[in-house]
Amino acid sequence: MDALIAQGCRVGVIARGTQRLQQLERDFGVATNGLPRIATASADVADATALDIAAGSLIAKLGTPEIWVNCAMATAFSRFCDMEPEEFNRIVDVTFIGQVNGCRSALKHMARGTIVNVGSGLSYRSVPLQSAYCAAKHAINGFTASLRSELIRDGHAISLSLVQLPAMDTPQFDWARNRLDEKPQPAPPIYAPEVAADAILRAAREAPRELLVGASVLKLVGAQAAAPDWLDHKMAQAGADMQTTDVPDTHSRPDNLFDPVDYPAKAKGSYTDRSRQTGIIVDGDRARLAGLAGVALIGAALGAALSTALPRTRRNRIQ
């Protein structure tokens, strides 16, 4: 929000509950022209009707949007076999269906501009203990690609971008449902929320197909493409350990899976002292082309080396 407001945007925010939304309106106040910098509306993004009503109320205050960001998420740190069906469904409903509902509402209200869907490196390489969240993030990839093709086919004035984020220092690790013995943490390296904001703002301005954020996302995408079976076994242990701290969890705190919890209206979580303030932001298509070019160059170099060595071998055999 800070990044968009700094660019002169007026921002509408939709979330569950009202306490943090009201705090945002108080914190940002009004601009010098007397107009609100932020307007808020309460709705559950998994409820398509409620989300569309909330969007309509914000548009009445702020005008027709030209940037729309879908970023709601929910998760649970748990073995799949320990999860109740309604928990799994809820995570998918918020994280995936929430973005579907957001896109539907955006296309209903917007005339032009950019929709930004927020994905994750986990949409390419899943980790253990977050099966529902990983499934939802994979689904976002498939849905976004399909919808983008439809918009291109229709010659639509709205672009659709996807931003794949690394592990972020956000409140999710303080309010997500947890069944593990230890408190959860973002899998290092951890990035500050400002890194995500920079990537989302770039996507809103430039409308690239996909942005990969952070070196860890680039490594996940590359490793999954090159050695998925090896990565399955690697994640079986390391992927689980990286998501937990050494601090025992008493499981006494409330979680936000079905209802919002009392928490300050801030983007940062509890790992600010370990988070990186900057991160590489790469166009996904260009990164893939660069990777293919690198493979081609390596292949050409190996071919040249072999062609040079083979004649020598033949001459040695003749002598």
DSSP string, 10-63: -EEEEESSSHHHHHHHHHH-B-TTS-BSEEEEE--TT-HHHHHHHHHHHHHHH-
Q: Would you state the pLDDT for residue 217?
A: 97
Specify which residues 70 forms β-bridges with. 117
42-87: pLDDT as tens digits: 999 999 999 999 999 999 999 999 999 999 999 999 999 999 999 9
Two tokens, residue 69: 């960001």
Specify which residues 115 forms β-bridges with. 68, 160
229-249: pLDDT as tens digits: 999 999 998 999 999 999 999
Please name the residues in contact with 202: beta carbons below 8 A apart, sequence gap of 6 or more: 208, 211, 281
Q: Would you state the pLDDT for residue 34?
A: 72
Tell me the whole-structure pTM to 2 decimals: 0.89
- Listing from the earlier edge strand, what are the strands of the sheet with 281-283? 67-70, 113-120, 158-165, 210-213, 281-283
What are the sequence ranges of the domains in the chain?
2-279, 286-319
CA distance 73 to 119: 10
The total number of residues written for the chain in this structure: 319
Q: Which amino acid is at 195?
A: V
Please name the residues in contact with 174: beta carbons below 8 A apart, sequence gap of 6 or more: 253, 263, 269, 270
Where does 2-279 sit in CATH, by number? 3.40.50.720
Is pLDDT of 29 > 80?
A: no
Provide the Cα torsion 50, 52, 55, 60; round to 10°: -110
